[in-house]
A and B are shown apart, each in its own frame.
Chain A
Amino acid sequence: MTFEMFVTVMMNGLTLGALYFIVASGFSLIFGLMRTVNMAHGTLYLIGAYLGYSVYDLTENWYYAIAAGMTAAAVFGAIMQVTLLGWMQGQELRQALVTIGLSIIVADQLLAHYGGLSLQFFPPDALFGATAFPIIERYPTFRLFQIGAAVAVGVALWLILNRTKLGLMIRAGVDDREMLAAMGVRVSLVAVVVFALGAALAGLGGVIGGSAQPFSQGTDVRFLLTSLVVVIVGGMGSIGGTAIGAIIVGMAEQWGQALFPTYSVIVTFVIMAAVLAVRPQGIMGRPS
């Protein structure tokens, strides 16, 4: 292995991790903070990607696609929370079954409407192509953009959770829901806002992910699984943990592919099993 290849694979792992962070941060928000088991997170990713694609197809504008994908996923997420999940608070098995059912229904609807062909976004020229990069000469611009987007998402989430009144209410709700309600906060409304925010991040991931690699039927399951692994490895409800988890999973996939491609699929799960065995709450998780 040359040094150049080492740097390239490191960069690939980091940029893939950035994409996983964007998608999994929404999952972490919903699952880790609100304790809602949302097995339809991959579906929100697909909704963002497909609806974003409809707008992209119409306007040829990638930024509109981002806005449309985020909005569509957020609206769908809010509807899910209001009509289905809101009144099942704390009933994990029920939530899991309902969201799995929902994801199957939505996947079939998307198949009926958009067909089975793989689709892909093509980002604006400024982001397409390659940029000069030290040591390896050139590196795809869009993959660098993924890092930027992930950092922006991370910083924004941290600010919302730690520097705003909404963040204060979310964190208080995690610790003691009843007390928060008793103090006059409409907890159910906070839950809808958090769910919509998490869903919007999945939708953002859908459009950015759909620009990095094609999406089609089945992409939802892949991203749901990845999000689960990221959150389990990183620790529930911690933004820093999600970032660490995402980078570990991204690195594992890319190094696996570079070193032993045939068995690369299992590396991620080996890491997950190892974390569960040694530190069940995840790397940054609080022991329950």
Chain B
Amino acid sequence: MSKRNRKVAAIVTVAAAAVFAGPAHAQEEIRLGSIATLEGPFASGGQDGHRGITLALEEVNYEINGKKIVWTAESSNAQADVALARARKLIEQDQVDIIVGPLSGAEGIALRDYSRTLTGKTIVNGSSAASDTTLRDPSPNFFRFSTEGAQWMAGLGNYVFQEMGVEHVAVIANDYAFPYAQVFGFMVDYCRAGGKVTKLWSPLGTTDYSSVITRIPRDAGALLVIKGGTDALAFLTQYAQTGGELPIIGGSIMADQTLMSARGPHQRLMEGMISAGPIADIHDDPMWQEWVERYRERFPDGLQSPSIHGFNYYTNTKAILLALQEVGGDLSDNQQKFQQALANLEFKNPMGATVKLDENRQAISDIFFTRIVKTDDGLRTESFGRADGVDQRLGLSPEEFEKLGSPSRDNPSCPPVS
């Protein structure tokens, strides 16, 4: 063998060893990637998402059936293109088996589309909650064990029209997929009950709302504010500053610890605020109390009470771990057994609500009505009602639901007659 040939042979041997060592290595460990927003308007939500993942992983001690779980965390900034780039990095470079994420609506749709192009990989939602992610054109590799924006609003429209007696609501919402879903969920009931809605959209990241506030119609009886984080704080502060006094109904990410623990004049507007969503800070289910206790103990510098994002990331990670346990960490055969286990999973989330999936791999679960109350530790949401087993079609038949069309800026619509 010439010197040159020997060199080639050595390289081939090393390469072959690397190729064969690859799968053997992969069987010993399960690689989990995560995408949460640690930058931009939902940075604190993403941080809490991480806490949720951590809690779930620590329950199983980062191990399933003797296989170690290796967690690679990635961050995005709530923009779909960034989330997509990070997901690609996780799959191609870090070679993860499963991704849990993302956090925000449009990101979810982007990752759903990406998941369709993959074989033998699974994406399980983090906390993103746009309807269309699973409702229209679902991907076989995308699972969501958290409920979405339209489900979260189920029943609230009827409550506002009948119990609060408000006949005209001004919607103040950000202009992207998740608020469309929430507005849709609210308006399906509210418009049918006879209510009128004026919609005021603004781009995500708007911090000067003076012109929006000017456009609130005089005869509106309440505001439905579907914003979170910085946007919500800016709007409420400026609304308080102009002396605004209409009752406020909050979207599901508004009545969140992120906003309630920040000091300022917006707190005056928030007390008594009605909302609906998958969690409530004060909720008398022992499972919830135990979970909150554990959260606080583990994260002394975390939020006073876990946020919706922490809860959703926990629930989704928990589902991954339960399915992995069922198949003993077996991800072979393009993850078929694992995905089957995910699809058939039925378990209780920390609120004590049963979670199971529909045929599009979307969660069916319970939704809670909440009210903001003042406690010794500051503002908290308290549950006062519950809608059981809310599915993505909000209880309508597929045909009826199909007729409503896809949530968008202009759909549904029931404007006041001027």
Binding site for B on A (CB under 8 A): 5, 8-9, 12, 15-16, 111, 115-120, 122, 128-130, 138, 140, 142-143, 212-214, 216-218, 222, 253-255, 257-258, 261-262, 264-265
Q: Is B43 in contact with A12, judged by CB distance below 8 angstroms?
A: no
B237 surroundings in chain A (CB, below 8 A) = 120, 213-214
Cα distance A12–B205 when bound, in Å?
18
Q: Is A258 in contact with B215, judged by CB distance below 8 angstroms?
A: yes
Q: Is B262 in contact with A12, judged by CB distance below 8 angstroms?
A: no
Q: Is A257 in contact with B206, judged by CB distance below 8 angstroms?
A: yes
What are 26 inter-chain pairs, A to B, with CB distance below 8 A?
Answer: A8-B211, A9-B211, A12-B211, A15-B210, A16-B210, A115-B43, A115-B47, A116-B38, A117-B261, A118-B229, A120-B234, A122-B263, A130-B243, A138-B243, A140-B210, A142-B241, A212-B208, A213-B234, A213-B238, A217-B43, A218-B40, A218-B205, A254-B208, A254-B210, A258-B211, A261-B212
What 9 A-B pairs are tightest by C-beta distance, nearest first? A116-B43, A213-B207, A118-B230, A12-B210, A257-B211, A258-B211, A116-B44, A8-B214, A140-B241
Q: Would you give the shortest CB distance from A82 to chain B, in whole angstroms?
A: 31
A265 surroundings in chain B (CB, below 8 A) = 203
A5, A213, A254: most-surrounded residue (chain B CB, <10 A)? A213
Contact-size category for B: 35 or more
Cα distance A257–B238 when bound, in Å?
15
Q: In B75-110, which residues have CB < 8 Å from any A CB?
A: 77
Q: Would you give the shortest CB distance from A249 to chain B, in whole angstroms?
A: 12
Cα distance A257–B241 when bound, in Å?
19
B214 surroundings in chain A (CB, below 8 A) = 5, 8-9, 12, 258
Cα distance A118–B39 when bound, in Å?
12
Q: Would you give the shortest CB distance from A132 to chain B, in whole angstroms?
A: 12
Cα distance A254–B202 when bound, in Å?
12
Q: Is A138 in contact with B208, judged by CB distance below 8 angstroms?
A: no
Cα distance A218–B233 when bound, in Å?
16
Is B165 interfacial (CB 8 A cutoff)? no
Please tell me which one of the listed residues B44, B207, B264 contacts residue A117 in the complex, with CB atoms under 8 A apart.
Answer: B44
B409 surroundings in chain A (CB, below 8 A) = 262
Cα distance A262–B265 when bound, in Å?
28
B238 surroundings in chain A (CB, below 8 A) = 140, 213
Cα distance A8–B238 when bound, in Å?
14
Q: In B30-55, which residues have CB < 8 Å from any A CB?
A: 38-41, 43-44, 46-47
Contact with A along B191-230 (1 / 0, CB 8 A): 0000000001111011110111011000000000000011
Q: In B292-330, which residues have CB < 8 Å from any A CB?
A: none
A117-B262, A118-B234 known; 13 new pairs, CB 8 Å cut-off, are A5-B215, A16-B210, A116-B44, A117-B258, A128-B265, A138-B242, A140-B238, A213-B237, A214-B234, A218-B41, A257-B211, A261-B202, A265-B203
**Closest chain A residue to B409, Cβ basis:** A262
Cα distance A140–B242 when bound, in Å?
6
The verdict on A122 contacting B265 (CB below 8 Å), with A257-B206, A257-B211 known, is yes
Q: Is A216 in contact with B212, judged by CB distance below 8 angstroms?
A: no
A138 surroundings in chain B (CB, below 8 A) = 242-243
Q: Would you give the shortest CB distance from B210 to chain A, in whole angstroms?
A: 4
Cα distance A235–B241 when bound, in Å?
34
A217 surroundings in chain B (CB, below 8 A) = 39-40, 43
A122 surroundings in chain B (CB, below 8 A) = 263-265
Q: Is A262 in contact with B201, judged by CB distance below 8 angstroms?
A: yes
Q: In B168-185, which residues have CB < 8 Å from any A CB?
A: 175
Cα distance A9–B207 when bound, in Å?
15
Cα distance A222–B204 when bound, in Å?
13
Q: Is B262 in contact with A120, judged by CB distance below 8 angstroms?
A: yes
Contact with A along B237-264 (1 / 0, CB 8 A): 1100111000000000000001001111
B43 surroundings in chain A (CB, below 8 A) = 111, 115-117, 216-217
A115, A138, A253, A261: most-surrounded residue (chain B CB, <10 A)? A261
Q: Would you give the shortest CB distance from B418 to chain A, in whole angstroms?
A: 13
A261 surroundings in chain B (CB, below 8 A) = 175, 200-203, 212
A5, A217, A255, A262: most-surrounded residue (chain B CB, <10 A)? A217
